Structure 1
Amino acid sequence: MKKEKPRVAIQGIRASFHEEAAFKYFGEDIETIECNSFKQTFEALQNKEADYVVMAIENSIAGSILPNYTLLMSYGFPIVGEVFIPIQLHLMALPGVKFEDVKYVTSHPIAIRQCVDFFYEYPHLKMVESSDTAACAKRIREEQLTDTVAIANTLAANLYGLQILERRIESNKVNFTRFLIITNHETPVKGTPNKASLCFEVSNKAGSLAKVLNIFADQNLNMSKIQSMPVLGKRNEYNFYVDIEWNEMKQYDSAIRQTLKYTHNFNILGEYERYEEQPSTDQFKKPEKRTYIKIKKLGQA
């Protein structure tokens, strides 16, 4: 019997960074469920229209995506994995388009901001914001726009048949986004859990949070993230979202038992295997021959 492809809900369309993250975690033999919003991805999982959700949670430049923490708490689906991908942004257009004929640049507003240094040399270009990088590439192809370039990833260029005019135009070349893998309660966790995402409240008294953090330290747990958010409708009360990592499960179990004494509304959002980048065999291959146009700066001959 042929195994069914996992159905993975993403915010955005095919060839977006969310699909790139899904490919990196699951491989390319998946069925992508395109959704207009992060909330819609959770609805697809709840309605059994998807088996997994891939959701961005933080970026090394832009920081945490706070509304997505609220979704995690609201729906209660467990985190079963994570993946990091480098954000590499390229300038692309229909084949044959010359850069000097371009009038508009379209992309997600965050992607545009991350390329501000590149476009400083071209003040005549008008920036057009959109909800999704890949959707911009798709629009150029469908509407045959010869005066517009998109900022998107290599997947988008390949899928929508666009020519990359300039590669890696992002201002900061060391830019990563962390994505969470979320599923229903019946799906087993992949690998051996050595990381957990927690959410809890502490009393509004001096030293309350410190007591919890000292427990983690005493049990030799690495706290890789802490994020606070106000509790809706409550003054001076906060939810703390914490990621912790361990080498021995007994250290984690002991820390959780002790932490319960000093917290309330304690939730384990997920226990999963932390992401470790595996060395790629591609690094030993000859670099592929690339064809792209080196854009001239203003004033150059």
Structure 2
Amino acid sequence: MKKVAIQGVAGSFHEDAARKYFGTDEIEIVECRSFQSVCELVDTDQVDIAVMAIENSIAGSILQNYSLIRDYHLRIIGETYVHIQLNLMTLPGVKREDVKTIYSHPVAIRQCVEYIEKYFPNARIIENQDTAMSGKILVRDQLMDAAAIGNLRTAEIYGLNVWDSGIETNKKNYTRFWVLSKHANQNGGANKASLAFEVGHYYGALARVLNIFAENQINLNKIQSIPIVGKPNEYTIHVDVEFNAEENYEKAIHRILKNVSSLSILGEYVRAEMEITNQ
């Protein structure tokens, strides 16, 4: 059975992502307080795999996770997308008018501001480390005057009543998760890669590298600059590329090596499909 590290506790969206990616395979979820702890467990061989959020379609990229993956020399071996649907939940017996406090992750709270202002304008908002922990707190402290915002898995695990579903303002909200390992993926069939590189400070340096992808019929579907600690005004460029022909990808990498000061292949893996809902 694979041990899979996640940031947060059981019932979180990270657990949703792990179970979606591994499907019917049996896995053991290992809870971590921080993303750094997740990386440390993989680095020290205490777990086999980690699942880590890297970007949200509304909140954007999680920049610290790019740096952590490089600092710990982890390899991206897969990805998955999770539709973020948020729900209001309470302990059994709590009435709507009893709710004076709402717990959740700060991003989840921001995504439900319209709902909160409409139905609970006077509620005190308490931010927590993740949505599932917010549900767990209701049970742990037997809070009969509070609610939590989280996913349905949280309600299932902790026996909470779901009052309202889909309370997020934007219904097309997705988070992309990377599946990480200490070692590269040995399976074939990769059609996507995540790369990190640095270029010199001269006219057209970055454009020259990006054009190489286009010339080799490789789709560049994400580009993200990350500041280099200790080097003001210098950046590492992270890109995600998709390709149909592995030969084209290898040609591009060979040419790019001649046009950058450094290049890291963070992972080569199978592209995940985002299942867009019409909710």
2:185–2:269 Cα contact (<8 Å) kept: no
Normalising by the residue count of structure 2, what TM-score does the alignment of the two structures yield? 0.95
Look up the equivalent residue of 2:240 and give its one-letter code: D
Which of 19, 33, 39 aligns to 1:23? It is 19
1:290 aligns with none
2:89–2:148 Cα contact (<8 Å) kept: yes
Which of 176, 179, 184 aligns to 1:178? It is 176
1:299 aligns with none
* Residues 257-281 of structure 1: CA deviation (Å, up to 9, x unaligned): 000111012100000011025799x
Look up the equivalent residue of 2:6 and give its one-letter code: I
* Residues 229-285 of structure 1: CA deviation (Å, up to 9, x unaligned): 1222223321000000000000000000000111012100000011025799xxxxx
Q: Distance in 2 between matches of 1:229 and 1:46?
A: 22
1:93 aligns with 90
Q: Distance in 2 between matches of 1:213 and 1:47?
A: 36
Which of 4, 10, 21 aligns to 1:8? It is 4
Q: Per the alignment, do residues 274 and 163 of structure 1 end up closer, same or farther by CA in structure 2, a change over 3 Å counting?
A: same
Look up the equivalent residue of 1:66 and give its one-letter code: L
2:197–2:261 Cα contact (<8 Å) kept: yes
2:34 aligns with 37
2:216–2:251 Cα contact (<8 Å) kept: yes
2:53 aligns with 56
Classify the secondary structure of the residue corresponding to 1:215.
Answer: helix
Aligned-residue CA RMSD in angstroms? 1.5
Look up the equivalent residue of 1:15 and give its one-letter code: G
2:185–2:268 Cα contact (<8 Å) kept: no
1:216-255 alignment runs, 5 A limit: 216-255=213-252
| Structure 1 residue 36: Cα displacement | 0.4
1:189–1:272 Cα contact (<8 Å) kept: no
* Structure 1 residue runs of 4 or more that deviate by more than 6 Å after TM superposition: none
Classify the secondary structure of the residue corresponding to 1:151.
Answer: strand
- Once the two structures are overlaid, the 10-residue window that deviates more, 164-173 or 21-30, is 21-30
Which of 253, 258, 263 aligns to 1:256? It is 253
2:164 aligns with 166
* Residues 39-93 of structure 1: CA deviation (Å, up to 9, x unaligned): 1011111121100010000000000000001001101111000000011100000
Q: Per the alignment, do residues 278 and 182 of structure 1 end up closer, same or farther by CA in structure 2, a change over 3 Å counting?
A: same
* Residues 89-110 of structure 1: CA deviation (Å, up to 9, x unaligned): 0000011211011100000111
1:70 aligns with 67
| Structure 1 residue 224: Cα displacement | 0.8
Which of 264, 269, 274 aligns to 1:267? It is 264
Look up the equivalent residue of 2:66 and give its one-letter code: Y
Q: Which has the larger radius of gyration?
A: 1
Q: Distance in 1 between matches of 2:75 and 2:43?
A: 12
Normalising by the residue count of structure 1, what TM-score does the alignment of the two structures yield? 0.89
1:78–1:183 Cα contact (<8 Å) kept: yes
1:195–1:271 Cα contact (<8 Å) kept: yes
Q: Which sections of structure 1, spanning at least 5 residues, go unmatched?
A: 281-301
1:179-218 alignment runs, 5 A limit: 179-185=177-183, 188-190=185-187, 192-218=189-215
* Residues 176-198 of structure 1: CA deviation (Å, up to 9, x unaligned): 0000000121x644551110000
Q: Which sections of structure 2, spanning at least 5 residues, go unmatched?
A: none
Is residue 2:102 matched to residue 1:102?
no
Classify the secondary structure of the residue corresponding to 1:50.
Answer: coil
2:143 aligns with 145
Q: Distance in 1 between matches of 2:162 and 2:188?
A: 38
